[in-house]
Amino acid sequence: MNHDAYPDNYIRGILNGVKSIAMVGASPVNVRPSYFAFKYLAQRGYDMIPVNPGHVGKLLLGKPFVASLLDIDRPIDMVEIFRNSSHIMPVVDEALRLSLLPKVIWMQLGARDDDAAAKAEAAGLKVVMNRCPKIEYGRLSSEISWMGVNSRTLSSKRAPLPTQGMRLSLDRTSVGGGETAASDRAAKNKSELS
């Protein structure tokens, strides 16, 4: 898999195929990006599981925090890693110790670990790096265009406004594959500042 550019169908297949998402690094602080992504995905009908050992005993939108992936009491389809790149390999190692492996390892914007990706792919998992499922979902459903953003998704009809738990169609046609290098530029700019 070329992790520099993902075909829309690859992302679409993942977002249409997963039901449960364990977000490692989720935060109950309502101004954190992980909070927004968690809330958005929960509102789109995904079974969200917040994973953060520093918040065990608390709830995130009614969902109890767990300390680790190994503490989750049900199968999970996707592990979304909301940690920086240096913390990815331990999360992937933990995911690979689960009795029932997840289908996907997804690394949030700015997070990339090619060795961890290769390890997960060798175990049969799909991997996405340096992308946000909230952004990708909004782009592929054309929901992001409601905010005046050019999602490069073509349709003569506007997608319906989602209601609580409603999943939008991710099968809208995108111009030229619709892949974006914006997250790659953001990650490059971030590394140049470091």
Tokens of 94: 């933990």
In CATH terms, the fold of domain 8-147+164-193 is: Rossmann fold (3.40.50)
Residue 115: Cβ-neighbour burial (10 angstroms; 0-12, 13-18, 19+): exposed
Res 143: pLDDT: 74
HSE-CB for 22 with a 13 A CA cutoff: 28
Residue that is written with structure tokens 């953060």 in the block: 52
Q: What is d(CA 158, CA 134) in angstroms, rounded to the nearest whole number?
A: 19
* Entry pTM: 0.78
Return mean pLDDT, the chain. Answer: 84
Q: What is d(CA 55, CA 34) in angstroms, rounded to the nearest whole number?
A: 14
Res 145: pLDDT: 59
Q: What is d(CA 57, CA 64) in angstroms, rounded to the nearest whole number?
A: 7
Per-residue pLDDT for the chain (194 aa), expressed as one digit of tens each? 899 999 999 999 999 999 999 999 999 999 999 999 999 999 999 999 999 999 999 999 999 999 999 999 999 999 999 999 999 999 999 999 999 999 999 999 999 999 999 999 999 999 999 999 999 998 888 776 555 444 454 455 555 555 555 566 666 555 444 444 555 555 566 556 55
